[in-house]
Amino acid sequence: MTDSGVHVGGRSSRLTLPLAVLAGGFVGSLARACLAAAFAVADGGFPWVTLIVNVLGSLVIGWYLARRERSVTSRWSLHFWAIGALGSFTTFSAFSVEVVELIDGGARGLAASYVIASMVLGLVAAWLGDRVGSAS
Amino acid sequence: MSIAILAIAGSLGALSRFGLAGAVQRSTRLLVPVGTFVVNIVGCFGLGVVVGGFHTDAYPVVFVVGFFGGFTTFSTWAIETVRLDIAPKPSRSSVINFLGMPALGVLVAAIGYFLAT
């Protein structure tokens, strides 16, 4: 009885964090899918939905991780929010492929400005979130 | 329907990222976030192949697009760059991560995209 309880407990704790990532990933992917459906970008247009999603997610993850170091939050929370939800809300593959599509469509200037905007704004957002989250 | 598929596929992508990034990171002594790097490179190539090769809204294609969307991550790259000490004086590893990830991501996406086209 006790053995079986310990065994089940051990097994469930090994599954807890992957399940948190799975659940968080669902929430983050759902949010991005809804935004993408609500605000469709025209073919060949500036992919500002992905840009906003990536910058917003970078801001929040910076804030969340900095706050986390100053308070007691569970590993479940880290895996759900940072790795699952924010990790999959933001996307590097869509960013990269959108750049390629812009280049393929002949819009090299737009592609370059999209790359620079994503890199600079994403980094500044993560830094800003980190600073705000670290401030008392 | 497409939104549900994207969300389910994205959650499986997130779980796969968790597994692969963790395995890669554990297998190296490097202090740079090579787990996220490998995941994003694989995902950028994969999505490039899908978008370059399949111009359709068929559900299997939507699923794979959703999977790579959740598999790759931009926010982790951004905060890892910050945590590698980008400010006030950028460390070498932070600059490599900041410039290398987008450069390689776009490069492999282009290779996948044009191979599949």
Residue range A45-71, pLDDT digits in tens: 999 999 999 999 999 999 999 998 877
Distance CA B32, CA B100 (A): 12
Instruction: Express each pLDDT in A64-105 by its tens digit.
Output: 999 988 777 789 999 999 999 999 999 999 999 999 999 999
Q: At what angle do helices A92-104 and B59-71 cross, to 10 degrees?
A: 120
Establish if B33 touches chain A: CB-CB under 8 angstroms.
Answer: no
The per-residue pLDDT for B87 is 81
Disruptive mutation site among A26, A52, A76, A96 for chain B (greatest number of B CBs within 10 Å): A96
Q: Determine the pLDDT at residue B105.
A: 98
Q: What is the mean pLDDT of residues B20-33?
A: 89
State the pLDDT confidence band at B29, using cuts at 50, 70 and 90.
confident
Q: How far is A80 from chain B (nearest CA, A)?
A: 10
**Residue A47, preceding peptide bond in cis (omega within 30° of 0):** no
Which of B7, B15, B74 lies closest to A92 in CB terms? B74
Tell me what ipTM this predicted complex has: 0.96
> Across the interface, which of A34, A86, A127 has its CB nearest the CB of B75?
A86
Report CB contact under 8 Å: A57, B17: no
Cβ–Cβ contact B102 with A under 8 A: yes
Tell me whether residues A92 and B73 touch, CB distance under 8 A: yes
Question: pLDDT band for position A6 (50/70/90)?
Answer: very low
Q: How confident is the model at residue A12 (pLDDT cuts 50, 70, 90)?
A: low
Q: Count of CB contacts below 8 A, A vs B? A: 195
Structure tokens that stand for A46 in this block: 């500036």
Q: Which residue has the higher pLDDT, B82 or B32?
A: B82
Q: Is B46's Cβ below 8 Å from some Cβ in A?
A: yes
| Contact state of B74 with A29 under an 8 Å Cβ cutoff | no
Q: What is the 3-state secondary structure (H, E, C) of chain B?
A: CHHHHHHHHHHHHHHHHHHHHHHHHHCCCCCCCHHHHHHHHHHHHHHHHHHHHCCCCCHHHHHHHHHHHHHCCCHHHHHHHHHCCCCCCCCHHHHHHHHHHHHHHHHHHHHHHHHHC
* Gap between the Cα atoms of B35 and B20, Å rounded: 7
The per-residue pLDDT for A3 is: 37
Please provide the average confidence, as pLDDT, over all residues in chain B. Answer: 95
Bigger pLDDT: B111 or B29? B111
Confidence band of A8 (pLDDT split at 50, 70, 90) = very low
Cβ contact, residue pair B10, A83, below 8 Å:
no
Q: Identify whether the C-beta of residue A126 lies closer than 8 Å to the C-beta of residue A58.
A: yes
